């Protein structure tokens, strides 16, 4: 009877999962959560994308479609860009990929605070810098290189960047968080509860505040005054 019950479980799906377990070591996390998973799929193959989207649309349960693309696909200079130069650009030579000479010599707010931060980092060993994957845009590359033990790129984790700063401030450090205005919205609760309510010495360097031109609609920093007025 035990053998009979066991063999009744050997369905095509059961065998497929056994094979996956053998190959991957365990079932994919999505399958364990009850989702179907398809991928990875070439995101530059339009016909293939349509085929899988149509398949997913016709199913009666949730499906995760994993698509892989190359940022800047089709323009070799952008494909080879490792630091995000082509994320938002001024006019540039399409053949060489190099930025054309700027018409003015204005210094941005980002460059100003980055240079001042270098002085502060040099003078005070209890100063730290935190940024959520915006080191290049905020001109912090030199600080990241010169002060590796006190400079922290936390990736696209704005909430964590603020909470981390609060933790450091509780341990006698003075953190400077360089963060884009539009992304700071994600960390509103953390600014309120993990810094302001505790009255901690953390300095927020709000980058891209106001209207920011070439950085695009998603980077306009128009809500700073509105939501910071509510924070003690």
Catalytic, 58? Answer no
**Cis amide prior to 40 (ω within 30 degrees):** yes
Is the C-alpha dihedral spanning 81, 82, 86, 90 positive or negative? Answer: negative
- How far apart CA 187 and CA 192 sit, in angstroms, is 9
In degrees rounded to 5, what are phi and psi of residue 65? -105, 115
Q: DSSP readout, 60-103?
A: SS-EEEEEE--TTTT-HHHHT-SS-GGGS--SB-TTT-PBPPPS
Q: Render the burial of 34-58: b for 16+ CB within 10 Å, e for the rest.
A: eeeebeebeeeeeeeeeebeeeeee
* Alpha carbon distance 202, 173 (integer Å): 9
Residue 75, beta-bridge partner list: none
Distance (Å, rounded) from C-alpha 65 to C-alpha 53? 8
| Among 71, 111, 125, 197, the one annotated catalytic | 71
Does the annotation mark 186 as catalytic? yes
Residue with tokens 């010169």: 146
Look at the block and give the residue holding tokens 């209890």. Answer: 126
Q: Which of 20, 36, 142, 186 is catalytic?
A: 186
**158 is annotated as an active-site residue:** yes
Q: Which residues are catalytic?
A: 71, 158, 186
């Amino acid at each position: 009877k035990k053998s009979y019950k066991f063999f009744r479980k050997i369905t095509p799906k059961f065998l497929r999962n056994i094979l996956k377990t053998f190959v991957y070591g365990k079932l994919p996390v999505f399958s364990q959560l009850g989702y179907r998973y398809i991928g990875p799929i070439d995101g530059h193959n339009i016909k293939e994308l349509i085929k899988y989207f149509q398949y997913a649309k016709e199913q009666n349960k949730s499906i995760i479609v994993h698509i892989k693309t190359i940022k800047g696909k089709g323009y070799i200079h952008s494909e080879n860009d490792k630091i995000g130069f082509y994320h938002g650009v001024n006019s540039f030579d399409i053949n060489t990929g190099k930025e054309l000479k700027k018409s003015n010599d204005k210094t941005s707010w980002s460059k100003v605070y980055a240079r001042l931060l270098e002085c502060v980092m040099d003078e005070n060993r209890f100063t730290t810098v935190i940024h959520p994957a915006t080191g290049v845009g905020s001109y912090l590359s030199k600080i990241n290189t010169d002060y590796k033990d006190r400079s922290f790129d936390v990736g696209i984790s704005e909430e964590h960047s603020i909470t981390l700063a609060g933790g450091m401030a509780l341990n006698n450090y003075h953190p400077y968080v360089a963060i884009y205005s539009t992304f700071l919205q994600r960390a509103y609760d953390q600014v309120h509860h993990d810094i302001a309510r505790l009255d901690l010495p953390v300095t927020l360097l709000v980058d891209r505040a106001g209207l920011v031109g070439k950085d695009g609609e998603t980077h306009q920093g128009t809500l700073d005054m509105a939501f910071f007025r509510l924070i003690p």
